[in-house]
Chains A and B, each alone.
Chain A
């Protein structure tokens, strides 16, 4: 959402950190070792109850009528991998690294809500977790990269649906889809911001426009939908949005797309800073007032980034790990008050005192998360 990105982790270039990532490439073709998951609105059938340590590949087919999600959880509901926004009739692949023997949980989430339909998944074999630091860090970076990629897939889907509704002139449906598509962008925005001018193209706010600058992206369409009504170039802007999201997908799916482990903590922090600067004031979605969707998405994205680092934090600073978990829970509970249906109340109904309380919870969480980079870097 910013034209000028603050460099939360500019120091990465001087870090003496191992960048080599574990060899876990994502194959696009199904193989005989793959585990199939057949989801409906009420069931979640998995072809195997157990697997071996290392990498597992799930082919998830949604035969239900609701959009679904599939998760692999480790103990404590730590998401080891997820694939979201699987529309009816679609098949999606999830490659997940399960380095340690133990009992994991698989979950389908029809309608993308709740705890999902769960079952256990037993993993046996020797641990493939590297005991040295570099292995742990590479694993974290790999896990976070998978998260980014999974979000971009969902972003492409929902953005296409949003754009279709805009171009069909279906204003109400477009309005309903606007915060949904943004969710997947807001979860990974710090990564999108790392690709040059991409973020301004996708997410520039009217207030940040410079004289003569063309205004494209989500917020331009937001104004068309909520304020001015469709404009002569609305459809062209909508098409451009799809093109720009595709560019993002190409970048994060590129083979040479790697993530510095210290950058993950920077992303976690950057997402919380986003809330403090533009969400808490209601500036971000000034026309639609859907700020709380973005707010939750930023929190989710931050939590996912921290989760990727969780084993490292647990090992090196258990107290910090516990504090962060507690603060995320506090903030989620605070946000839950504003849930309504599948989404949230509009932010213009949240009064000053309530915004202050949200801000305090964010400050409390940020203070803890700001320590993570140091822990990861071994400082």
Chain B
């Protein structure tokens, strides 16, 4: 694991932030000692504490939302909400409240000032408290809006971007409506799973009556690198994943493929992006009974080094033309070939998925796979043609099943004083 300290301008230290961080509350005493007695917590925000030794806080505000090109954190809690109110005012009020809470939590603070223990004995604490003493852990909270939010309920129809059309049915899709769609999505990523869960939990609980959770997904291992500072991780098939992913440092490529530009579509969307989420169940047991040679043929890379079968080292270029006798070295239906920019006329997306395991199903098989998240400038021109190609031809289809699907439009980042979704209301 590389240390991302100071490698990008999206990180800052907590010392630059106002307020008392959860970590600072405990100060030099440390969480373990502080837990010895709740009474000892009060007033521990003293000056005599060590400064943060690592860049732990990702800036909440900026030109773009954090959590897209931010170096992928280790853990994720993703949630999709249905808006249950019919009131535009209530929805706007919730988004404002969420924004305040989200900004606080990404800075390592409680959802509300002193909310875990300071509200008194007779009200449910306004912060649930399980993140007390935990660092900000590079928490990012990224919001997106689904096509369904632009129906006739709130008067957003005229603000709907053209590319925010429901994804088509892809071959062999086996989608569960209870794991698909949603009016609003929030992606929480952090290096500590408890921090990510805390964030979503606290946002969800203030939403009751206005929005309710439609589905959610926990992810425990990033399955792609979004920065050159990161090693390439492995997915649950045991293969390196994300070697050819777009990297944050390639700003031209990012601008070309990820961020919506002025003039692309709705003006309020400039600087935003689209989020495609797919819950891809991996048929782990079948895969584990597959011989190594077949596994590598299906993927198109060697399992050990991650090198394309046409090369020797991980980052060697994918050579789709190389032959072994009459046959291509990288099979015609190998996953890397079908997903490559060369094959797709230059199409690229920024992948940001996570491994998931939700225990086992009733057959004793792991309910596990890849929670695929992609960010792109136009899903209809990028994700859709890519997935059409993969769903028809990918050798990997024998070992996976798409069981959940959703599409969201993510607005641009917030300037000081702005709130989530402001572009929809103004």
Binding site for B on A (CB under 8 A): 11, 14-15, 262, 327, 360, 363-368, 370-371, 373-374, 376-377, 379
Q: Contact between B122 and A363 (Cβ–Cβ < 8 Å)?
A: no
Q: Contact between A367 and B208 (Cβ–Cβ < 8 Å)?
A: yes
Q: Contact between B123 and A371 (Cβ–Cβ < 8 Å)?
A: yes
- Closest CB of chain B to A373's CB: distance in Å? 5
Residue-wise, chain B 181-220 has the 8 Å CB interface mask toward A (1 for contact) of: 0000000000000000000000001101110100000000
Q: A360-B84, A364-B84 are in contact. Are A374 and B123 (CB under 8 A)?
A: yes
Q: Contact between A379 and B209 (Cβ–Cβ < 8 Å)?
A: no
| Residue numbers in A under 8 Å from B205 (CB-CB) | 367
18 A-B pairs whose Cβ atoms sit less than 8 Å apart in the complex: A15-B121, A15-B122, A262-B122, A360-B212, A363-B212, A364-B209, A365-B209, A367-B205, A367-B206, A367-B209, A368-B209, A371-B123, A374-B120, A374-B122, A374-B123, A377-B121, A377-B122, A379-B123
Q: Does B124 contact A (CB under 8 A)?
A: yes
Q: How far is the CA of A89 from the CA of B205 in the complex (A)?
A: 51
Q: Does B285 contact A (CB under 8 A)?
A: no
- Closest CB of chain B to A356's CB: distance in Å? 8
Q: Contact between B123 and A370 (Cβ–Cβ < 8 Å)?
A: yes
Q: Does B119 contact A (CB under 8 A)?
A: yes
Q: Contact between B208 and A363 (Cβ–Cβ < 8 Å)?
A: yes
Q: How far is the CA of A162 from the CA of B84 in the complex (A)?
A: 41
Which of chain A's residues has its CB closest to B214's CB? A356
- Closest CB of chain B to A288's CB: distance in Å? 28
Q: A360-B84, A364-B84 are in contact. Are A327 and B209 (CB under 8 A)?
A: yes
Q: How far is the CA of A327 from the CA of B205 in the complex (A)?
A: 16
Which of chain A's residues has its CB closest to B177's CB? A353
Q: How far is the CA of A377 from the CA of B123 in the complex (A)?
A: 9
Q: Contact between B84 and A379 (Cβ–Cβ < 8 Å)?
A: no
| Residue numbers in B under 8 Å from A367 (CB-CB) | 205-206, 208-209
Q: Contact between B123 and A373 (Cβ–Cβ < 8 Å)?
A: yes
Number of A-B contacts (CB under 8 A): 43
| Residue numbers in B under 8 Å from A379 (CB-CB) | 119-123
| Residue numbers in A under 8 Å from B121 (CB-CB) | 11, 14-15, 377, 379
- Closest CB of chain A to B202's CB: distance in Å? 13
Q: How far is the CA of A364 from the CA of B209 in the complex (A)?
A: 4
| Residue numbers in B under 8 Å from A377 (CB-CB) | 120-122
| Residue numbers in A under 8 Å from B122 (CB-CB) | 11, 15, 262, 373-374, 376-377, 379
| Residue numbers in A under 8 Å from B120 (CB-CB) | 374, 377, 379
- Closest CB of chain A to B211's CB: distance in Å? 9
Binding site for A on B (CB under 8 A): 84, 119-124, 205-206, 208-210, 212
Most chain A CB inside 10 Å of its own CB: which residue of B119, B121, B209: B209
| Residue numbers in A under 8 Å from B209 (CB-CB) | 327, 363-365, 367-368
| Residue numbers in B under 8 Å from A14 (CB-CB) | 121
Q: A360-B84, A364-B84 are in contact. Are A374 and B119 (CB under 8 A)?
A: yes
- Closest CB of chain B to A107's CB: distance in Å? 31
Q: How far is the CA of A327 from the CA of B209 in the complex (A)?
A: 8
Which of chain A's residues has its CB closest to B209's CB? A364
- Closest CB of chain B to A70's CB: distance in Å? 35
Q: How far is the CA of A379 from the CA of B120 in the complex (A)?
A: 6
- Closest CB of chain A to B414's CB: distance in Å? 26
Q: How far is the CA of A75 from the CA of B209 in the complex (A)?
A: 27
Q: How far is the CA of A40 from the CA of B263 in the complex (A)?
A: 76
Q: How far is the CA of A374 from the CA of B208 in the complex (A)?
A: 19
Which of chain A's residues has its CB closest to B205's CB? A367
| Residue numbers in B under 8 Å from A11 (CB-CB) | 121-122
Q: Tell me which of B84, B124, B210, B212 contacts A370 (CB under 8 A).
A: B124
| Residue numbers in B under 8 Å from A370 (CB-CB) | 123-124
Q: How far is the CA of A376 from the CA of B206 in the complex (A)?
A: 21
- Closest CB of chain A to B162's CB: distance in Å? 31
Q: How far is the CA of A262 from the CA of B208 in the complex (A)?
A: 24
- Closest CB of chain A to B38's CB: distance in Å? 14
Q: How far is the CA of A142 from the CA of B323 in the complex (A)?
A: 89
Q: How far is the CA of A11 from the CA of B125 in the complex (A)?
A: 14
| Residue numbers in A under 8 Å from B84 (CB-CB) | 360, 364
- Closest CB of chain A to B401's CB: distance in Å? 22
Most chain A CB inside 10 Å of its own CB: which residue of B119, B122, B205: B122
- Additional 9 contacts, C-beta under 8 A, given A371-B123, A373-B123, A374-B119: A15-B122, A360-B212, A364-B208, A364-B209, A367-B205, A374-B123, A379-B119, A379-B122, A379-B123
Q: How far is the CA of A364 from the CA of B85 in the complex (A)?
A: 10
Q: How far is the CA of A17 from the CA of B275 in the complex (A)?
A: 53
Which of chain A's residues has its CB closest to B210's CB? A364
- Closest CB of chain B to A11's CB: distance in Å? 5
Q: How far is the CA of A364 from the CA of B205 in the complex (A)?
A: 9
- Closest CB of chain A to B123's CB: distance in Å? 3
Q: How far is the CA of A327 from the CA of B121 in the complex (A)?
A: 25
- Closest CB of chain B to A366's CB: distance in Å? 7
Q: How far is the CA of A51 from the CA of B121 in the complex (A)?
A: 41
Q: Tell me which of A15, A366, A373, A376 contacts B208 (CB under 8 A).
A: A366
- Closest CB of chain B to A379's CB: distance in Å? 4
Give 6 nearest A-B pairs by CB, closest first.
A364-B209, A374-B123, A377-B122, A379-B120, A367-B208, A363-B208
| Residue numbers in A under 8 Å from B210 (CB-CB) | 364
Which of chain B's residues has its CB closest to A352's CB? B178
- Closest CB of chain A to B1's CB: distance in Å? 39
- Closest CB of chain A to B93's CB: distance in Å? 12
Q: How far is the CA of A360 from the CA of B204 in the complex (A)?
A: 12
Q: How far is the CA of A374 from the CA of B121 in the complex (A)?
A: 8
Q: How far is the CA of A374 from the CA of B118 in the complex (A)?
A: 13
Which of chain A's residues has its CB closest to B84's CB? A360
| Residue numbers in A under 8 Å from B119 (CB-CB) | 374, 379
- Closest CB of chain B to A36's CB: distance in Å? 43
Q: How far is the CA of A370 from the CA of B119 in the complex (A)?
A: 13
- Closest CB of chain A to B5's CB: distance in Å? 40
Q: How far is the CA of A14 from the CA of B205 in the complex (A)?
A: 27
Which of chain A's residues has its CB closest to B122's CB? A377
Which of chain A's residues has its CB closest to B212's CB? A360
Q: How far is the CA of A363 from the CA of B84 in the complex (A)?
A: 12
| Residue numbers in B under 8 Å from A262 (CB-CB) | 122
Q: How far is the CA of A286 from the CA of B206 in the complex (A)?
A: 32
